[in-house]
Chains A and B, each alone.
Chain A
Amino acid sequence: MKRIIAITLSVLIFLIFMTAFARVKFGNIALSKYFYFNPVKKQMTRDSVPSHYLKEGIKETGSTNIVTAVVVDYRGFDTLGEVTVLFLASIGVGALMYIKREEKRKVREANEIVKTASAFLFGFIVLFGAYIFVHGHLTPGGGFPGGSVIASAYLLLYLAYPKYAADHSKLSVLESLAGLTFLVTGLLGIIFGGHFLYNFLPYGVPRYLFSAGVIPVIYVAVGIKVGSELTGIVDSMMGVRE
C-alpha cells in the first residue's frame, strides 16, 4: 500500500516538473538577451547579469576564474552563509556524538600496504589540496574542493591507523579562527570601502598568483576551515577508539 502511494507520488512529481521544464530552453540560449531591471535606479538595462559577470569580471574583481569571482566577490554573502552551514554541521555532529562516559571501541589494524602508502601519500595529498585552494582565483576549484581534499588525506590516516585521533580542540580553534578571518575581512570592507565584503586589497595583474585583492585571502581561510571541519566531523563520528 505504501509502495503504491510512493510510486504514484513520485511519478506525479516527475510529470509535473517535467512539463514545466519542457518549456525551459536548453543550450540554445543567448545569455546577453535577458535584460535585467535595476531596482535602485529603477531602469531596465540592456545587458544580462551572467554576461555582465563574464565581460566585466576580471576588471571588477581581478580574478580570471569567473566562478570564483561570483562565489567570493559578487555573491560573497552566500559563501559566508555556506561556511556557516558547514560550521553548524560540525557543531551539530560534535554535540550529538557527545557521550559522557568513555565508551571505547576495539578496532583492527589495517594491512601493511595501506599503512605504508597512506603515510607516504599524506603529505602529497595535503599539498595538492593546498594548491587547489591557493590558486582558486586562477584555476577551477577553490576553497571547498581544496579543503575536502585535505580532509580526505586525514580520512586516509584514520583508515590506515585506526587508533590515530586528531587533536579535537586544536581543530576546533583552527576552524573558529579561519571563520573569524573571513568575517573580519568582510567587516574590514566596511571600514575601508564602505560596504561589507568590499574588495579593498589591490587587484594586481590578472593571471598572477598575487592578484584579485581579497579573494585569495578568503579562499585560503575557507580552505583551512573546510579541511579542519570535515576532519572534525569524521573524528566525531568515529567515536572513541582504543
Chain B
Amino acid sequence: MIFYAASLALVAIGIYVVISKRNLIKIIIGLDMIDTGVNLLLISIGYVRGGTAPIENGNYPLYVDPIPHALVLTAIVIGVSVMALALSIVIGLYRHTGTLEIDEIRGLVK
C-alpha cells in the first residue's frame, strides 16, 4: 500500500509543480515527475508476494505479473519522447524571447 501512496504522492507533487511554478524548465521537470509517478504506480500493481522476475529459470514456482512491465516499457519511452519535444520547444522559445518565465513570455507574445 505504501507503494501506491508514494507513487500518487509523486504525481500530486508533480501537478503542484506544473501549476504553481513560473520557470518553464521547472514546469517540464514537474511533467517528468508526473510521468515517473504513473510508471511507478503501474509497476507496483503487478507485484506478487514471493514472486521473482518473469524469466523462466526452473527454480522459482512463482513469478511476478509480466504485463505491467511491458506497459511501463512503452510508457517510459513515450515519456522520454514527450520530454524531448517539450525541451526543444522551450529551447526554441528561449531563442526567440530570451527568457524562460511564463509571465514575461505571455507579455511578449500578446
Contact = CB atoms under 8 A, between A and B. Distances in A.
A183 interface: no
Majority-rule SS of A interface residues: helix
Nearest to B1: A26
B77 A85 contact: yes
B81 A9 contact: no
B11 A50 contact: no
Contacts of A14: 8-9, 11-12
A140 interface: yes
Interface size class of B (residues with CB under 8 A): 35 or more
A24 B45 contact: yes
B33 to A, nearest CB: 11
Nearest to B10: A14
Interface stretch (A76-84, A114-122, A157-165, A185-193): A76-84
Given A9-B19, A67-B70, A89-B80, A26 B47 contact: yes
Interface of A: 2-3, 5-7, 9-11, 13-14, 17-18, 21-22, 24, 26-29, 31, 49-50, 53-54, 57-58, 64-67, 69-71, 75, 78-79, 81-82, 85-86, 88-90, 92-93, 96-97, 139-140, 142, 144, 206, 233, 236-237
19 contacts: A2-B20, A9-B19, A10-B12, A18-B4, A26-B47, A27-B48, A54-B66, A65-B56, A69-B66, A70-B66, A70-B69, A71-B74, A85-B81, A86-B80, A90-B84, A93-B85, A93-B88, A140-B53, A144-B73
